[in-house]
Chain A
Amino acid sequence: MRRSLGAIVGIGELAPKRRTHGETTLGMIAEAARLAVADAGLEPAAIDGLLVGPQVGETPQHVPATVSEYLGLMPNMADVVDLGGASGAGMVWRAAAAISAGMCEAVLCVLANTREETAPRSPNRNPIREFDVPFGASGANAAYAMIKQAHMAEYGSRDEDFARIASAARANAQRNPQAIFHGKPASVEDVLASPMIASPLRLLEIVMPVAGGAAVVVVSPDRARSLPRRPVHLLGAGEKITHRALSQAPSLTSGPLKPAMARALAGAGVDKDDLDLLSLYDCYTIMVATTLEDLELCPPGRFGDWLADSDLGPEGDTPLNTHGGQLGFGQPDLAGGMTHVIEAVRQLRGNTPGRQIPDAQLALVTGNGATMSEATALVLGDEP
């Protein structure tokens, strides 16, 4: 018997932009929040819970108070969710938990980022800065390149297999006018011909960083009945955090999403074969490959065979990232993870013009942070 843990009743998403000019994160947050709260059919004053992301270099501490003040909110519950790309999905579960614990009734979950020309490098002091950066291994590309290399070495997976993921994301992006790569499809050959960035990772296997924002409003299933939008229910969730630096990872070819997805599906009472949409975090092609294998859609190492037999479009047998994924939509920093939540909500509402999955009832959303370190999985449904 399924049971709704909470309902997503409003969504807001900003079109991704390559650059911003003099904008602030607070301003972008306000824009995404305004869209989501209006979509929910709520007055701003009804929002009594607030979940935000960290704002390195802008507001290092007291982020919830700063955002509340800017938005004119006085929430009864507020917090920072700091799970990298898993923050968006992680917020949805925390919002539902806070509501069922009686902390608040309507939670705004919001993430946004600017991309100014002169972004300062943050002054970090942590083990990654001390033991990885001095060797020339700054940034996520080096880590995911080494994860892809490990997969190819262990299983003999091929570059073409990975390129298929990027090409499929671009194909779906052609049906999302908001996507940064709308109008710019990429074939498997295009991906393979793109410049090597950190071997074996090529440019088109890596998300494009953009500015943007995304917000959702979560309320109780009871409250959802009185609101105008068809609610999308949280049926199950799972989370796992295993490490931060890749050198400390328990595995290079399987990640914390494996237990997180298993828990989310079990909690929801949903079989993976009943999912109508896979809304899978895709910072790199290798991230989708390990997620497909960790979901046990195919044996370890065999995602390439699985992809060859699958149609990932909205009318296909296994729709995957119908908004284009972040590989096709662009990655608005932490809000990039929230785009997977928002696309799932759109599809389950049943009105996604130009790319609606027929009779979509169940979606799996994944979030992934750091170097395959922080994982959150959500099962969303169109009914409690």
Chain B
Amino acid sequence: MISPDLLADLKVPGPTETALSGPFWEAAERGQLLVQHCSACNRSILYPRRICPHCWSVDLSWQVASGRATLRTWSSIVRPGHPAWEPAAPYTVALAELDEGPTLLTQLRAEPQGLSAGLPLRVVFMRVGGRTLPFFEPAS
């Protein structure tokens, strides 16, 4: 697994933040995972949007997520699609389904051996090339 120092020193493309998504990334810097919540249909949303993709309501607000998720699927990336990630390979990307509902693409702090679909995960914030990103690790 990549050391935190190596991760922090990678020269990789960071999030292309927008005015709408700013609070999500600012919260990540503080070690908080936010989801958008729609008061009209009571569903949580990620990535953040201007309208709820389920009911088109604009009645959206930020909520702090539990940080708990389950593993849907994963891949150990041996040959990264972006050359700046090569020093970190192999590393494991995954889809984590948050307890609140939305699925997030993320990176796992875990060896790929022994992973299984449905594995409980929890968020862990990592420094990556000058930014703080929500990674996940096995909850146990």
- Check A134/B72 contact, CB under 8 A, given A139-B82, A146-B94, A199-B112: no
A46 contacts the other chain (CB 8 A):
no
Q: Do residues A154 and B117 form an inter-chain contact, with CB atoms below 8 A?
A: yes
A245 contacts the other chain (CB 8 A):
yes
Partner of B93 from the list A131, A142, A201 (CB cut-off 8 Å) is: A142
A139 to B90 alpha-carbon distance, docked (Å): 16
- Check A136/B131 contact, CB under 8 A, given A201-B75, A247-B104: no
Partner of B75 from the list A125, A138, A149, A247 (CB cut-off 8 Å) is: A149
A146 to B74 alpha-carbon distance, docked (Å): 5
Kindly provide the distance from the CB of A147 to the nearest chain B CB, expressed in whole angstroms.
Answer: 7
Q: Do residues A130 and B82 form an inter-chain contact, with CB atoms below 8 A?
A: no
Interface size class on chain A is 35 or more
A248 to B117 alpha-carbon distance, docked (Å): 17
User: In the complex, what residue of chain A is closest to B94 when comparing beta carbons?
Assistant: A146
A130-148, CB < 8 A from B: 130-142, 145-147
B103-124, CB < 8 A from A: 103-107, 112, 116-117
Residues from chain A with Cβ under 8 Å of B117 in the complex: 150, 153-154
Q: Do residues B77 and A131 form an inter-chain contact, with CB atoms below 8 A?
A: no
Of B21, B73, B80, the most chain A CB neighbours within 10 A belong to: B73
- Check A198/B78 contact, CB under 8 A, given A138-B85, A153-B116: yes
Residues from chain A with Cβ under 8 Å of B85 in the complex: 136, 138
A246 to B81 alpha-carbon distance, docked (Å): 16
Q: Do residues B81 and A139 form an inter-chain contact, with CB atoms below 8 A?
A: yes
Kindly provide the distance from the CB of B89 to the nearest chain A CB, expressed in whole angstroms.
Answer: 8
Kindly provide the distance from the CB of B118 to the nearest chain A CB, expressed in whole angstroms.
Answer: 9
A102 contacts the other chain (CB 8 A):
no
Q: Do residues B95 and A146 form an inter-chain contact, with CB atoms below 8 A?
A: yes
A131 to B33 alpha-carbon distance, docked (Å): 13
Q: Do residues B77 and A134 form an inter-chain contact, with CB atoms below 8 A?
A: no
A27 to B14 alpha-carbon distance, docked (Å): 36
User: In the complex, what residue of chain A is closest to B76 when comparing beta carbons?
Assistant: A199
A245 to B49 alpha-carbon distance, docked (Å): 14
- Check A134/B81 contact, CB under 8 A, given A146-B74, A146-B94, A247-B103: no
A141 to B79 alpha-carbon distance, docked (Å): 9
Partner of A146 from the list B13, B17, B75, B116 (CB cut-off 8 Å) is: B75
Residues from chain A with Cβ under 8 Å of B133 in the complex: 134-135
B128 contacts the other chain (CB 8 A):
yes
Interface string of A299-331 (1 = CB under 8 A from B): 000000000000000000000000000000000
Kindly provide the distance from the CB of A280 to the nearest chain B CB, expressed in whole angstroms.
Answer: 23
- How many contacting A-B pairs (Cβ < 8 A)? 110
Residues from chain A with Cβ under 8 Å of B106 in the complex: 135
A146 to B105 alpha-carbon distance, docked (Å): 11
Kindly provide the distance from the CB of B72 to the nearest chain A CB, expressed in whole angstroms.
Answer: 7
Residues from chain B with Cβ under 8 Å of A198 in the complex: 75-79
Q: Do residues A142 and B104 form an inter-chain contact, with CB atoms below 8 A?
A: no
A127 contacts the other chain (CB 8 A):
yes
A149 to B71 alpha-carbon distance, docked (Å): 12
Interface string of A176-203 (1 = CB under 8 A from B): 0000000000000000000111111100
A127 to B78 alpha-carbon distance, docked (Å): 24
Kindly provide the distance from the CB of A115 to the nearest chain B CB, expressed in whole angstroms.
Answer: 17
B18 contacts the other chain (CB 8 A):
yes
Of B15, B72, B77, B88, the most chain A CB neighbours within 10 A belong to: B77
Q: Do residues B76 and A146 form an inter-chain contact, with CB atoms below 8 A?
A: no
A258 to B86 alpha-carbon distance, docked (Å): 36
B51-97, CB < 8 A from A: 72-82, 85, 88, 90-91, 93-95
Residues from chain B with Cβ under 8 Å of A146 in the complex: 73-75, 93-95
Q: Do residues B116 and A199 form an inter-chain contact, with CB atoms below 8 A?
A: no
User: In the complex, what residue of chain B is closest to A199 when comparing beta carbons?
Assistant: B76
Q: Do residues B105 and A245 form an inter-chain contact, with CB atoms below 8 A?
A: yes
A153 to B128 alpha-carbon distance, docked (Å): 30
Residues from chain B with Cβ under 8 Å of A129 in the complex: 13, 16
A99 to B13 alpha-carbon distance, docked (Å): 45
A142 to B94 alpha-carbon distance, docked (Å): 9
- Nearest first, the 5 A-B pairs at minimum CB distance are A139-B81, A138-B81, A145-B75, A138-B82, A150-B73
Known: A130-B15, A134-B13, A146-B95. 15 other contacts (CB 8 A): A131-B105, A134-B12, A136-B77, A136-B82, A136-B91, A137-B105, A138-B80, A138-B82, A141-B79, A142-B77, A146-B75, A146-B94, A149-B75, A201-B75, A247-B103
18 contacts between A and B (CB under 8 A): A130-B16, A130-B18, A133-B13, A134-B13, A135-B107, A137-B93, A138-B81, A141-B79, A145-B75, A146-B74, A146-B94, A150-B72, A196-B76, A197-B79, A198-B77, A199-B76, A200-B75, A247-B103
